Amino acid sequence: EEMFGAGGVEARGALCVEMEAAALFAIAAVRGVPLTAVLCISDSLAGAEWDPHYDSERLARRVWAAFQATVDCLDGGHRYYD
């Protein structure tokens, strides 16, 4: 977002920007270990200004749902959460 400014990534044809997991995938590739990532969109640069939603209830619910699904998958389908 700093490199292109709000709206700049969209003008370059990007549908989204992911920064943190890319580093983890690079390290996993070098070390030869499997890795997966679950991503939730927390803000938008699609408009003229940055539109953050880090503190939204909607995002919190979706992150929690992703966490629950991940735990369920890792546990072989056994659900230990509400």
Helix (H), strand (E), coil (C) string for the chain: CCCCCCCHHHHCCCCCCCCHHHHHHHHHHHHCCCCCCCCCCCEECCCCCCEECCCCHHHHHHHHHHHHHHHHHHCCCCCCCC
What predicted TM-score, i.e. pTM, was given to this entire model? Answer: 0.54
Share of the chain above pLDDT 90, in %: 16
pLDDT of 17 strictly over 60: yes
The predicted model gives 27-35 an average pLDDT of 94
The structure tokens 């619910």 sit at 61
Write out the two tokens for 33: 């270990």
Between 63 and 48, residue with greater pLDDT: 63
The predicted model gives 7-34 an average pLDDT of 83
The predicted model gives 47-70 an average pLDDT of 84
